[in-house]
């Protein structure tokens, strides 16, 4: 059993540990879960990820309660099928999906998991980022997955519903070292129907288009939608299409913040990224590390965050060889593995 320290990482460290345990069949005990956070221990969305992965791999778990700072996880065999998970709050649906996504590499039959909670939640990528950036990136190296959003859920009521569909997948080596040239920019703006009278979604999209135009970028696609939701809210995504990669930049609307200011912040994030040479955005940088461990390859990232550092330590604990090439510009993360991605590291 692996003994893991959860005090130096947040929820992403726990989600990666769940994925790696299910993939390798190796148990772990994590203590000090989120100890450096203002609200330490498992929150509802972390608990939903624990129970979702446990259901998918028939695991025995101990310490699965809100507020628990210690968790023991004994995985069984991963199988397909279909089941539901309820976060119970507006906690992120996408972050629950993150823990389940790598399991596609061990499936013999499809898996569908429907999660109820926040589809567009604080401190996590909105649903459009998942569908328009992360999953298209993953499909480029062979991961077969899709997400359907049946109902949008904003903070604080949540109540959104989305389904992750996974098919048995065999990964190819990941090659995102050089992004190539910028091929196009897309704008996806969404708001709850309660904000339609204020034209919030249109204003976000138009302000983004104008700011991009001022910087010399035309918009290849502009999509504006309204969705029923139990709480008012909005989200904006700008997707950058490069010759050999994708990157996404997003924000949620906030009470008292004009739609135009939301758009300005998102576009500025894209412009800062485009001025560099990294192939993937900061969201994807740490979330792709598990796949690098499984398939090998190279990914150039904007910077080395705490999430990246702690994730690399976790991968090493499970016997995977993923490391930073710090003297390269941009910084590279490189994974070494067998050409047969179905073979575990031990």
pLDDT tens sequence across 65-77: 999 999 999 999 9
- The residue among 274, 328, 270, 337 whose CA lies nearest residue 300 is 328
Domains of the chain: 2-176+280-336 (3.65.10.20), 182-274 (3.30.360.20)
Q: Report pLDDT for 324.
A: 94
Q: With 60 as the cut, is the pLDDT of residue 339 above it? A: no
Q: Any catalytic annotation for residue 307?
A: yes
Query: How does residue 30 score in pLDDT terms, banded at 50, 70 and 90?
Result: very high
DSSP for residue 120: B
Mean pLDDT of 114-130: 94
Look at residue 337 in the predicted model and tell me its pLDDT.
Answer: 67
Task: Locate the DSSP E strands across 80-233.
Answer: 81-86, 111-117, 145-151, 160-166, 174-176, 182-192, 221-227
**To which residue do tokens 């412009």 refer?**
271
| Inter-residue contact 29 to 2 (CB < 8 Å) | yes
Q: Is the pLDDT of residue 31 over 70?
A: yes
Tens-place pLDDT, residues 147-157: 999 999 999 99
The SS3 call for residue 80 is coil
Separation CA 11–CA 98 (nearest Å): 11
Is the per-residue pLDDT at 340 higher than 80?
no
Among 22-26, 30-34, 190-194, 325-329, which stretch is predicted with the lowest mean pLDDT?
325-329
Rounded mean pLDDT of 167-196?
97
Give ∠ CA 204-157-152 in degrees, rounded to 5: 50
One DSSP character per residue, 246-259 reads: EEEEEEE--TTS-H
Predicted TM-score of the model (pTM) = 0.93
Encoded tokens for 32: 């000090």
State yes or no: pLDDT of 333 exceeds 60: yes
CA distances to 141, 220, 258, 340 from 52, rounded to whole Å, are: 24, 37, 37, 27
Please give the angle made by the CA atoms of 237, 128 and 307, to the nearest 5 degrees: 80
* Contact in structure between 160 and 119 (CB atoms under 8 Å): yes
pLDDT of the residue at 341:
38
Q: What is the pLDDT of residue 122?
A: 86
**pLDDT surpassing 80 at residue 345:** no
The span from the CA of 274 to the CA of 294, in Å, is: 28
Given pLDDT bands bounded at 50, 70 and 90, which one contains residue 38? confident
The DSSP symbol for 122 reads: T
Instruction: Give the pLDDT confidence of 256-290 residue by residue, as tens digits.
Output: 999 999 999 999 999 999 999 999 999 999 999 99
Confidence of residue 346 (pLDDT cuts 50, 70, 90): very low
Residue 234 host element (H or E): strand 234-242
By residue count, the chain amounts to 346
């Amino acid at each position: 059993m692996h003994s893991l320290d959860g005090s130096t990482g947040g929820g992403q460290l726990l989600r990666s540990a769940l994925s790696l345990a299910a993939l390798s069949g190796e148990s772990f005990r994590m203590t000090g879960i989120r100890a450096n956070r203002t609200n330490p221990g498992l929150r509802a969305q972390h608990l939903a990820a624990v129970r979702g992965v446990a259901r998918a791999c028939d695991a025995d778990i101990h310490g699965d309660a809100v507020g628990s700072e210690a968790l023991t996880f004994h995985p069984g065999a991963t199988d397909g099928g279909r089941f539901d998970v309820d976060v119970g709050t507006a906690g992120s649906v996408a972050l629950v999906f993150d823990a389940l996504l790598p399991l596609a590499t061990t499936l013999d039959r499809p898996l569908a998991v429907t999660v109820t909670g926040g589809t567009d939640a604080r401190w996590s990528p909105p649903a459009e980022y998942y569908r328009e950036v992360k999953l298209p990136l993953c499909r480029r190296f062979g991961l077969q997955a899709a997400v359907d959003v049946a109902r949008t859920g904003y903070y604080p009521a949540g109540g959104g519903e989305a389904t992750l569909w996974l098919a048995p997948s065999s990964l190819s080596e990941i090659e995102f070292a050089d992004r190539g040239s910028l091929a196009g920019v897309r704008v996806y703006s969404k708001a709850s129907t309660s904000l339609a009278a204020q034209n919030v979604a249109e204003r976000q999209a138009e302000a983004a288009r104008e700011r991009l135009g001022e910087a010399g970028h035309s918009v290849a696609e502009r999509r504006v939608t309204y969705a029923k939701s139990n709480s008012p809210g909005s989200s904006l995504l700008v997707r950058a299409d490069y010759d050999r990669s994708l990157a996404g930049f997003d924000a949620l609307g906030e009470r008292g913040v004009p739609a135009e200011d939301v758009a300005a912040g998102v576009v500025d994030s894209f412009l800062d990224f485009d001025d560099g040479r990294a192939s993937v955005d900061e969201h994807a940088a740490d979330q792709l590390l598990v796949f690098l461990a499984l398939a090998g390859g190279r990914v150039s990232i904007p910077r080395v965050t705490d999430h990246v550092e702690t994730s690399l330590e976790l991968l090493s604990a499970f016997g995977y060889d993923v490391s930073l090439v710090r003297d390269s510009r941009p910084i590279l993360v490189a994974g070494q593995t067998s050409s047969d991605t179905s073979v575990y590291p031990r």
